[in-house]
Amino acid sequence: MILEYLGHSAYIISNNNYTLAIDPFMTANPACHKKIEDFEKLDYILVTHGHSDHIGDTVELARHYNSTIICNFELGHYFEKYYGLNVHTMHIGGLYDFAFGFVKMTNALHGSGIIHGGEMIYGGNPCGFVISMDGVTIYHAGDTGLFGDMNLLQRLNIDYALLPIGGNYTMDTSDALLASEMIKAKNVIPMHYGTFPVIDSDPNIFKDKCSSNVIILNTNAKINL
Ligand code: NI
Ligand code: MN
């Protein structure tokens, strides 16, 4: 099973049978080398909330690969109504067993409005995802501030927690350290930093102080999980 970092909060998770994208912010992210047509296939796209740096290229990818989008009910309505895309909608606290493994939708403290034609469309609650595939459990926190219920996630025995550290819109490094203490993941991978000046942050400071093992992934890096 391979985890590929596309920069910002965008990841690809794949094994021999399935390929999943999370928050695929690609063409508008200058650091990302991956192009829409670069995948062999793309079965599912998980979207944490309606902001453009997370929806990213979801519509173009889903059209190109006939992917199913996993997202909250309100975003699902948006993708169906405006683009006719396939969706599997869930909501906070819900778990579903997909053929590749399970997805549990978790809480996130953030917004989820979608800007469409200059108007703001309601995008429901933002979320995170706990994803289990090949016996490996990954928590993608989405965009979120620190919240005490991250404590509950330790019961899920997270192998890899993907946590925002960039501040301004999300947790900064000091809050992400507290989050790591609560989640107790075996490994933490920082994300959502450095893409824009307002979220500049040094992941090495985070790595030095974190109670979990920290893996700093460069954009376009791949690791075996
Ligand atoms: Ni956001
Ligand atoms: Mn964001």
Distance CA 194, CA 202 (A): 8
Q: What is the pLDDT of residue 30?
A: 87
Q: What is the pLDDT of residue 29?
A: 94
| Strands of 2-7's sheet in order across | 86-90, 68-72, 44-46, 19-22, 10-14, 2-7, 222-224
Q: What is the pLDDT of residue 73?
A: 98
- Residues near ion ligand 2 (CB < 5 Å) are 53, 143
133 Cα–ligand 2 center, Å: 25
16 Cα–ligand 1 center, Å: 31
Number of alpha helices (DSSP H) and beta strands (DSSP E) in the chain: 5, 16
Distance CA 186, CA 199 (A): 25
The number of the ligand nearest the C-alpha atom of 108 reads: 1
Q: What is the pLDDT of residue 168?
A: 98
44 Cα–ligand 2 center, Å: 20
161 Cα–ligand 2 center, Å: 17
Q: How many residues does the chain have?
A: 225
6 close to 219: Cβ distance less than 8 angstroms: yes
DSSP states of 48-81 as a string?
A: --SSHHHHTTHHHHHHHHTPEEEEEHHHHHHHHH
Residue pLDDT tens, the chain, 225 long: 999 999 999 999 999 999 999 999 999 998 899 999 999 999 999 999 999 999 999 999 999 999 999 999 999 999 999 999 999 999 999 999 999 999 999 999 999 999 999 999 999 999 999 999 999 999 999 999 999 999 999 999 999 999 999 999 999 999 999 999 999 999 999 999 999 999 999 999 999 999 999 999 999 999 999
Distance CA 208, CA 35 (A): 34
111 Cα–ligand 1 center, Å: 6
Strand 68-72 and strand 86-90: the pairing is: parallel
Output the CA–CA distances (angstroms, integers) from residue 56 to 19, 36, 37, in the order listed: 17, 11, 15
Distance CA 23, CA 6 (A): 10
The number of the ligand nearest the C-alpha atom of 196 reads: 2
Distance CA 57, CA 21 (A): 10
Q: What is the pLDDT of residue 71?
A: 99
Global pTM value: 0.98
In order of start, what are the domains of the chain with their CATH numbers?
2-218 (3.60.15.10)
Q: What is the pLDDT of residue 86?
A: 98
DSSP class of 158: -
